[in-house]
Amino acid sequence: MNCAVILLLTSSCFTWSSAIYTPNRAGTLKYLLEPPVFAEVVGHRGGNVTLPCILRTKPSHYKVKWTKLEPEHVGRENIIMISNSHAFKQYGRLGPRAALRKAHTMDASLQLRGLELEDGGTYRCELVNGIEDESVAISLRIEGVVFPYQSKNGRYRFTFQEAKDVCAEQDGILASYSQLYRAWTEGLDWCNAGWLDDGTVHYPIIESRPACGGEMLPGIRSYGPKDKKVDQFDAFCFTSQTSGSVSYISGSFSFEQAEHACQRQGAALALVGQLYSAWRFQKYDQCDGGWLRDGSVRFPISNPRERCGGLPEAGVRSFGFPNRMKHLYGAYCYR
């Protein structure tokens, strides 16, 4: 059945996705302490975090194995590190950036440095001891912002892989369901459906209206999994803090002139994700349309006011993809 569904609505098409960690029942673990009050650790791109894992007692012979759970690859373990009391070995993409904290003899907590957008998700600390293996799970959330992205050729033009590629081109990755859900709770209301990283298609609605699925209740509306090679939609991208800064150059530039204006300042036209990051983390507010590197014209508003688009909500406004030679705007540069 090809129908849209929403959270909090009972329906034969109802789907539910959750990244909330459910701890083990009290008293079920012999060797590992249950996670502390926070089962979620929050970090940002480029930062460092510690994922807690504390031994309650040590068996005679044991190993501690840290893995990152990948729901889209069922049955495949993404091992980060395996250690015992004497040595450790790192594995995969995360291994070179991982270390054990070892604050004391019972500490098996994992430290990750130089966080990347893809590092968010659920991690498992497993004590391997013959048939008495135990594990606890900790969720790592990368603090960031979700932004919808549409092709310059119009609505619904991306296959799944094209959506992944275009998010990467704009300094982001395809958002996860939990990232889109959080964005919805923070005010994201968007009428066009877009790919998420698990190959499903959704769109977040706060204000129900006829043009956006009718009078169903607000929520994350879902088309479920779609054919990644055939079906086409927009994309929901996710980005986080950047190491650089965005600035605006006032002027009446064609796209090419805007590129040169940024280059004269030792910068480049900003990517869409970089502008969203500046808006979200630096509260960037500029009531002037400016070119971005993808040929779109946008401006960030943190302090909504009548003369700056007239909308009551903060956000990044878009003028779409104007003619690069005929239309004149300022330039948003990233350095």
Predicted pLDDT of residue 215: 80
Q: What is the mean pLDDT of residues 54-64?
A: 88
Helix (H) or strand (E) holding 315: strand 315-318
* Mean residue pLDDT across the chain: 89
* Mean pLDDT calculated for residue range 23-50: 77
Q: What is the pTM of this model?
A: 0.86
CA atoms within 13 Å, Cβ hemisphere of 310: 0
pLDDT at 150 over 80: yes
Q: Which residues contact 110 (CB under 8 A, 6 or more apart)?
A: 50, 51, 53, 66, 80, 81, 98, 99, 100, 101, 123, 125
Q: Compute the distance between CA of residue 79 and CA of residue 297 in angstroms, rounded to an integer.
A: 43
Kindly report, residue by residue over 292-332, the tens digit of the pLDDT.
999 999 999 999 999 898 889 999 999 999 999 999 999 99
Can you list the domains of the chain with their CATH numbers?
40-142 (2.60.40.10), 147-240 (3.10.100.10), 246-334 (3.10.100.10)
Rounded distance between C-alpha atoms, residue 47 and residue 185, angstroms: 25
pLDDT tens by residue, 12-23: 332 323 333 334
In this structure, what are the phi and psi dihedrals at residue 311, rounded to the nearest 5 degrees? -80, 145
Q: What is the pLDDT of residue 188?
A: 96
Average pLDDT over residues 52-74: 85
**Can you tell me the mean pLDDT for 186-196?**
96
The amino acid that residue 37 corresponds to is V
Q: What is the pLDDT of residue 130?
A: 78
280 vs 18: which has the higher pLDDT: 280
Q: What is the mean pLDDT of residues 82-93?
A: 90
Other Cβ atoms less than 10 A from the Cβ of 328: the count is 15
Q: What is the pLDDT of residue 61?
A: 85
Tell me what the mean pLDDT of segment 209-222 comes to.
Answer: 89
> Which of the pair, 95 or 211, is modelled with greater confidence?
95
Average pLDDT, integer, range 9-35: 48
Q: What do you get for the CA distance between the two ends of the chain, in Å? A: 48
pLDDT at residue 255 in the model: 98
